[in-house]
Amino acid sequence: MRTVKEKGIFSVLLAFLFLIGMLAGACQTNNKAHAADDFRLWRQNDERWGSYAIGGSTVRSSGCYITSIAMAAVASGAKDTESFDPGVFAKTLNDMKAFNQWGGLSAWGSVNKAIPEVSIATANLNFKSDTQSGKASEIKEYLDKGLYVICNVGGHWVYIDGIIGDDVYMADPAKDEILMFEAYDNKNITVFQAIKGKNPYKGFTPLEIPEKDTETSTVTSSITTTAAAALTTTTAVQTKAKTTTVTTTKAQTTPRPAVTTVTYKAGEYYCSDSVPVKVWSDIKAQKDAIASLSYGNVVRVLSVSGTVGEVKIGGRNGYVELTKLEYAGEPEEYEAGDVNNDGSFDTYDLALINEYLNSLGKLPEGISVLTTSEIAAADISGDGIVDNNDVLLYLMLICN
Q: What is the mean pLDDT of the chain?
A: 77
Read off the pLDDT of each residue in 212-225 and give the average, rounded to a whole number: 39
- Please tell me whether residues 271 and 152 are part of one structural domain: no
Q: Does the residue 136 lie in any domain?
A: yes
Q: Does the residue 230 lie in any domain?
A: yes
- Please tell me whether residues 58 and 193 are part of one structural domain: yes
| pLDDT tens-digit map of 138-178 | 999 999 999 999 999 988 999 999 998 889 999 999 998 99
- Please tell me whether residues 259 and 287 are part of one structural domain: no
Closest by CA to 240, choosing from 217, 222, 263, is 263
Give the model's pLDDT for residue 208.
Answer: 47
Q: What is the rounded distance in angstroms from the CA atom of residue 6 to the CA atom of residue 251?
A: 75
Q: Does the residue 339 lie in any domain?
A: no
Helix, strand, coil share of the chain (percent; to 5): 30, 25, 45
Give the model's pLDDT for residue 207.
Answer: 55
Question: Picking from 12-16, 170-174, 265-269, 313-317, which range would have the lowest pLDDT averaged per residue?
Answer: 12-16
Contact 136, 166 (CB under 8 A): yes
- Please tell me whether residues 175 and 245 are part of one structural domain: no
- Please tell me whether residues 189 and 46 are part of one structural domain: yes
Report residue 262's pLDDT band, with 50, 70 and 90 as the boundaries. low
- Please tell me whether residues 295 and 260 are part of one structural domain: no
Q: Does the residue 299 lie in any domain?
A: yes
| Total domains in the fold of the chain | 3
CATH code: domain of residue 74: 3.90.70
| pLDDT tens-digit map of 86-120 | 999 999 998 898 988 778 888 888 999 999 999 99
CATH code: domain of residue 316: 2.30.30.40
Structural domain harbouring 279:
267-327
DSSP code per residue over 173-240 = SS-S--BHHHHS-GGG--EEEEEE-SS------PPP-PPPP--SEEEEEEEE-TTTTT--EEEEEE-S
Give the model's pLDDT for residue 189.
Answer: 95
Contact 105, 119 (CB under 8 A): no
**Predicted TM-score of the model (pTM):** 0.51
- Please tell me whether residues 254 and 271 are part of one structural domain: no
Contact 70, 24 (CB under 8 A): no
Vertex 189, ends 187 and 191: CA angle to 5°?
Answer: 130
- Please tell me whether residues 151 and 38 are part of one structural domain: yes
Q: Treating both helix axes as pointing N-terminal to C-terminal, what angle do 388-399 and 4-23 enclose, rounded to 10 degrees? A: 60
* Position 340, amino acid: N
Q: Does the residue 23 lie in any domain?
A: no
Give the model's pLDDT for residue 46.
Answer: 92
Q: Which among 294, 311, 327 is the end of a domain?
A: 327
- Please tell me whether residues 169 and 48 are part of one structural domain: yes
Q: Does the residue 353 lie in any domain?
A: no
Q: Does the residue 20 lie in any domain?
A: no
- Please tell me whether residues 281 and 260 are part of one structural domain: no
Backbone angles phi, psi at 360, to 5 degrees: -65, 135
The CB density around residue 257, as the number of other CB atoms within 10 Å, is: 12
Question: Picking from 181-195, 206-220, 221-235, which range would have the lowest pLDDT averaged per residue?
Answer: 221-235
Say yes or no to pLDDT of 27 above 50: no
Closest by CA to 364, choosing from 294, 304, 314, 310, is 314
Q: Does the residue 182 lie in any domain?
A: yes
Q: Which among 171, 204, 237 is the end of a domain?
A: 204
- Please tell me whether residues 314 and 167 are part of one structural domain: no
- Please tell me whether residues 120 and 243 are part of one structural domain: no
